Structure 1
Amino acid sequence: MTRRRAVRLAAAALALAGVLASTAACSDDEDVPASPAPIAGGASALPGPAPAGLALRPAPSGAPGAPAVTGTLTDGSTLALADLWAARPVVLVFFSSWCGPCEQRQDALSELARTHRDAVAFVGVVTEDTPEDVQRYLRAHRVEYPVVVDDDGAIWQSYAVREPPAVVLVAKGGALLRGWPGGVDAAALDAQLRELVLA
């Protein structure tokens, strides 16, 4: 065998080995299960820092303080509401996945939360529900904000919420501005945000 032929055979063998390794890598990738999607409503949905120079209206003097509760998000992490309203206003959306009026309004509320993402923190508070049904609801309605699971209803009671839906608006600093037993549609809530908190 000539040296030139030996070099060609070696090069061909290397090229074949590369093709086989590449094919094996591709098939291995197909066998690897995809990473599970993050749990909707968990810590990954928390807002980042408030933008510098965020212009907000001052809370009216004499407004009562909102209950500064701490709860557990859908992924098991802890959220203190006071940590959120230290930087920006907070909208609390009390809901359950089985609540018809909640479902009818949720898509528009989700869109409103995206519109005001930097200036206002939305937080869902769910009770009397299963984790599976909550996840289905959050994904179906593109809820991209954090959701507190209030299994014993203590947070609902602290805000005097008897049944879903309900919405509460808290100013930056924790003043309780407005509540809507029975919920509120997104257009009316948007108008109230612009009137009460957004300068």
Structure 2
Amino acid sequence: MRWPRRRTAPVVVVLAVAVALVAGGCTSGGNDPGPAPTLAGGAAALPGPVPGGLALRPAPTDSPVAPRVAGTLTDGSPLAVADLWAERPVVLTFFSSWCTTCAQRQDGFSELARGYRDRVVFVGVAGEDEPDGVQAYLREHRVEYPVVLDDTGTIWRSYAVREPPAVVVVAKGGALLRGWPGGVDAAALDGALRELVLAP
């Protein structure tokens, strides 16, 4: 007696496809990394709207014009610094993650920048450095303002910075008010901003 031939091939194919779909679903769902972490110093750190009623001192008419520079933030976003000082004063802090003096003063700058949030924009300019080192530095010192990676040293040269740290204050409109080769501490910078930038 001949037994009827069983149709196993289609059943096997269907089972194989089902297993592949389930496995694929588990794999893609389980390995989904989710959104990438936000890089410190990127576009998310750019200032919000200028606060209403912000009173600023007029810049001296004999002040030189600050170099108009542009660069790339830590997350790859472009930044023209003149776009920032078109609306409010800007503080440029030139630093490197390996600079001991920079690290000693950075916590004070971070706190000062938070205090002046949206009234005065702080912009870090990292040079002679690596992106990973800069990120570690920014996170350790809670830097919440935008940071340009000056890989070529173009911005540093534009402001005659030879080594970190250095700090520059630019008035609204782009007048170069004050610079500190070798840097300055947060208390002295705060005093200078009140004297040169903010109206009483």
So what's the TM-score if we normalise by structure 1?
Answer: 0.83
Q: Percent identity?
A: 73
Equivalence for 2:134: 134
State the distance in 2 between where 1:55 and 1:30 align: 53
Residue-by-residue CA offset, 1:75-124 (whole Å, 9 max, x unaligned): 11100011000110000000000000000000010000000012100000
Show the 5 A alignment for 1:42-121. 42-121=42-121
Show the 5 A alignment for 1:147-158. 147-158=147-158
Deviation at 1:30, TM superposition (A): 8.4
Q: Which structure 2 residue ranges, 5 or more long, are not aligned?
A: 1-27
Letter in 2 for 1:106: Q
Residue-by-residue CA offset, 1:128-169 (whole Å, 9 max, x unaligned): 111111000000000000001110101000000010000000
Deviation at 1:32, TM superposition (A): 5.3
Equivalence for 1:40: 40
Q: Which structure 1 residue ranges, 5 or more long, are not aligned?
A: 1-27
State the distance in 2 between where 1:52 and 1:188 align: 26
State the distance in 1 between where 2:191 and 2:34 align: 42
Choose 1 or 2 for highest CA Rg: 2
Letter in 1 for 2:94: F
The SS at the match of 1:194 is helix
Letter in 1 for 2:149: V
Q: For the aligned residues, what is the CA RMSD?
A: 1.5
Aligned length: 172
State the distance in 2 between where 1:195 and 1:34 align: 47
Deviation at 1:49, TM superposition (A): 1.5
Deviation at 1:71, TM superposition (A): 0.7
